[in-house]
Chains A and B, each alone.
Chain A
Amino acid sequence: MKAYIIQRLLSLIPVMLVVAVVVFFIIHLTPGDPAAVILGPDASIEEVNHLREEMGLNLPIYEQFLIWITKVVQGDLGWSIYMDKPVLQAFLENLAPTLSLALMAQIIAILISIPAGIIAATKRGTFTDQTFMIISLLGISVPNFLLALLLVLVFAINFALLPVAGFQPLSSGILPHIQYLILPAFALGAIQAALIARVTRSSMLDVLNANYIKTARSKGVKKNVVIFKHALKNAFIPILTVIGQTFGQLIAGAVVIETVFNIPGIGQLIINAIMRRDFEVIQGTILLIAFSYVIINLIVDLLYGFFDPRVRLSAKN
């Protein structure tokens, strides 16, 4: 297990490096002078030059990168010119709603998808199976912001059951918190649910055809016990992978969903920063999300090794 962990940690270094380089250079794609763009058309040449000096834009590009990456490693992600505070602080202040939203979406997705996938697999080829799979295909085909708006049209405007938009922090009570988050979380989790259901189904089908399942059944073990105790446990690794991979996508999807519901999270932070051309905020936020995406995948991989000895043994060779 130790060798496996070390191997996985080492493999992170090049990935993180590429992520950092990409994030750094994306901002330098901006046509024109960032200093002039930030100050707007009314700024004098001296002002622009002063800001260029302050931002280190006159240095060679590799030196700028080295300075930037040194700061990032020390936890300094830059300064928001518009909000006049450190990027990291702005990020942390906006993190809670996004995390709440992503977690709730994940819970909804898991609650819907795993039972649906199991039922579809055990009733393979039947009407139920096909209906579930068509619904999951639809789930994959609807962009989450569109599903969000359609849900708003039906549940918030037509039936007036739920709030149209807005957010209540957890501190104002769990019920209002959930009430405001339920539509966004469902819209966000739908694609995940569809993906997890598909993987659950195919993974369960693989396991259900295995000889040890047939043996268990022919020995007289009850069908439900076989499905839940013997099959599900072994079908779980691909399911776990897809849950891990899609959690990163949930955070990215939350960026879009938040703008639909005016939720004050990371998504609004990024979109506002884009509108105000607050480059260091864009840079820092994207970097943090990409890093957390990498970390989540790492955790999933490590859990893998934990659940499946074959994975960690293959790392040794």
Chain B
Amino acid sequence: MNAKSIYSDEKIVSNQHQYNKEQRSLLIKRILSNRLMMFGSIILILLTIVAFLAPVIATQDPLAIDASSRLQAPSSEHYFGTDNLGRDLFSRVIYGTQASMVVGISVALISGFFGMVIGLYSAYNRYLDHVLMRICDGLMAFPAILLAIAIMAALGPKTVNVIAALSFVMIPTVARVIRSAALVVKEQTYIEALKSQGASGIRIIWVHIAPNTISQLIIQLTYVFAISIIIEASLSFLGVGIPAPDPSWGNIIYEGKAVIYNAWWMTVFPGMFIILAVLALNLFGDGLRDMLDPHSKK
């Protein structure tokens, strides 16, 4: 390359142009990412409404078997068609929304609480840290879904057990995130000042460190929510999750698998709801992370 081209006016102009273009694309990206977050939020609100109002929205009893109308294609009477027992699929998917949202929110709250306690105390106390983090390492050595399958195999298929198993699986991840956030806060000068003033450990942890880890916790919990929905659906699909006849997105697809040749709707409709819910949670989480945690922005 010759020196002339580097210093030529054209190059400077094109550099300026490049710079403007980059600034603009950055702006576009930011708006887009917020738009995506908006889209995610709207879907989440809609799904929450559907879950709360399931008895109102559902057109029929999700458990009512009607042998004369088995495996009917979607129609104005049955929006999503009927399943292998003639039950109205639309109503079942709506009630399945309720099941998935209950599992997801419960797991997020339970694993959030225990993960926070474990994370904060191991950040604060060296000895506890060694013990608790080795246990977390051990638990994280299991692929999440496998540990959940094993626990469900022992406990038996029940919604409460799904929540318990998933919470147990998620706690170490949450604890790790809170711990590393708390370790950063702990090094701040004001914590040192509080210590020298004689503030108790419990006070420092809960009044001064905990609130500064909340944004990290919330971001993490949206992902926990999303993963819970995926794993719950997988467990129910394997027949070790939410037991029949109560509908869940996963167990509807499980029943649909046997008739996939004649009834695509049993796979596609509950599947669409799973994808929408998880996508919405991921978009919401990404947007939240960009807003609350500017360092992570690429």
Q: Is B275 an interface residue (CB 8 A)?
A: yes
Tell whether, in the assembled complex, residue B156 and residue A31 are in contact, meaning their CB atoms are under 8 Å apart: yes
Q: Is A30 an interface residue (CB 8 A)?
A: yes
Q: Is B182 an interface residue (CB 8 A)?
A: no
Tell whether, in the assembled complex, residue B145 and residue A253 are in contact, meaning their CB atoms are under 8 Å apart: yes
| Residues of B31-82 contacting chain A, CB below 8 A | 32
- Say how far B39's CB is from chain A's closest CB, in angstroms: 11
Tell whether, in the assembled complex, residue A14 and residue B138 are in contact, meaning their CB atoms are under 8 Å apart: yes
Tell whether, in the assembled complex, residue A274 and residue B240 are in contact, meaning their CB atoms are under 8 Å apart: yes
Given contacts A18-B138, A218-B6, contact A153 B233 (CB under 8 A): no
Chain B hits for A275, CB < 8 A: 239
Chain A hits for B237, CB < 8 A: 145, 256, 259
Q: Which residue of chain A lies nearest to B152 when distances are taken between CB atoms in the complex?
A: A274
Q: Is A168 an interface residue (CB 8 A)?
A: no
Given contacts A22-B138, A23-B150, contact A256 B234 (CB under 8 A): yes
Tell whether, in the assembled complex, residue B260 and residue A152 are in contact, meaning their CB atoms are under 8 Å apart: yes
Selected interface stretch from B22-30, B183-191, B204-212: B22-30
Chain A hits for B267, CB < 8 A: 146, 149-150, 153
Q: Is B142 an interface residue (CB 8 A)?
A: yes
Listed residue (A21, A22, A202) with the most chain B CB atoms within 10 angstroms of its CB:
A22
Chain A hits for B6, CB < 8 A: 218
Tell whether, in the assembled complex, residue A255 and residue B275 are in contact, meaning their CB atoms are under 8 Å apart: no
Tell whether, in the assembled complex, residue A143 and residue B139 are in contact, meaning their CB atoms are under 8 Å apart: no
Tell whether, in the assembled complex, residue B282 and residue A29 are in contact, meaning their CB atoms are under 8 Å apart: no
Chain B hits for A297, CB < 8 A: 141
Residues of B within 8 A of A (CB): 1, 6, 22, 25-26, 28-29, 32, 134-135, 137-139, 141-147, 149-151, 153-156, 226, 230, 233-234, 237-240, 253, 256-257, 260-261, 264, 267-268, 271, 274-275, 278-279, 282-283, 286, 298
Number of interface residues of A (CB under 8 A): 59
Chain B hits for A255, CB < 8 A: 145-146, 149
Chain A hits for B135, CB < 8 A: 18
Q: A31-B156, A141-B226, A286-B142 are in contact. List 5 more A-B contacts (CB 8 A).
A: A18-B137, A19-B141, A125-B22, A130-B32, A256-B237
Listed residue (B32, B134, B149, B150) with the most chain A CB atoms within 10 angstroms of its CB:
B150
Chain A hits for B145, CB < 8 A: 252-253, 255-256
Tell whether, in the assembled complex, residue B282 and residue A137 are in contact, meaning their CB atoms are under 8 Å apart: yes
- Say how far B272's CB is from chain A's closest CB, in angstroms: 9
Chain B hits for A146, CB < 8 A: 233, 253, 267, 271, 274-275
Q: Can you offer 21 A-B residue contacts whose CB atoms are under 8 A? A: A15-B141, A18-B134, A18-B141, A124-B25, A126-B25, A130-B32, A137-B279, A140-B278, A141-B275, A141-B279, A143-B230, A157-B261, A205-B298, A252-B144, A252-B145, A253-B143, A256-B237, A271-B239, A275-B239, A286-B149, A294-B141
- Say how far A262's CB is from chain B's closest CB, in angstroms: 10
Tell whether, in the assembled complex, residue B155 and residue A31 are in contact, meaning their CB atoms are under 8 Å apart: yes
Chain B hits for A137, CB < 8 A: 279, 282-283, 286
- Say how far B231's CB is from chain A's closest CB, in angstroms: 8
Tell whether, in the assembled complex, residue A143 and residue B238 are in contact, meaning their CB atoms are under 8 Å apart: no
User: Contacting A290 at CB < 8 Å: which of B134, B146, B154, B233?
Assistant: B146
Chain B hits for A157, CB < 8 A: 260-261, 264
| Residues of A19-77 contacting chain B, CB below 8 A | 19, 21-23, 26-31
Counting from the closest, the 5 A-B pairs by CB-CB distance are A18-B138, A252-B143, A125-B25, A220-B1, A141-B279
Tell whether, in the assembled complex, residue B260 and residue A142 are in contact, meaning their CB atoms are under 8 Å apart: no
Tell whether, in the assembled complex, residue B138 and residue A150 are in contact, meaning their CB atoms are under 8 Å apart: no
- Say how far B144's CB is from chain A's closest CB, in angstroms: 8
A213 to B29 alpha-carbon distance, docked (Å): 25
A26 to B149 alpha-carbon distance, docked (Å): 11
A253 to B146 alpha-carbon distance, docked (Å): 8
Q: Which residue of chain B lies nearest to A266 when distances are taken between CB atoms in the complex?
A: B146
Chain A hits for B153, CB < 8 A: 26, 270, 273-274, 282
A152 to B259 alpha-carbon distance, docked (Å): 12
A130 to B36 alpha-carbon distance, docked (Å): 12
Q: Which residue of chain A lies nearest to B277 when distances are taken between CB atoms in the complex?
A: A141
Chain B hits for A144, CB < 8 A: 234
User: Contacting B138 at CB < 8 Å: which of A19, A218, A219?
Assistant: A19
A255 to B26 alpha-carbon distance, docked (Å): 41
A141 to B280 alpha-carbon distance, docked (Å): 9
The 0/1 profile, CB within 8 Å of B marked 1, for residues 116-156 of chain A is: 00000000111000100000011011111110011011000
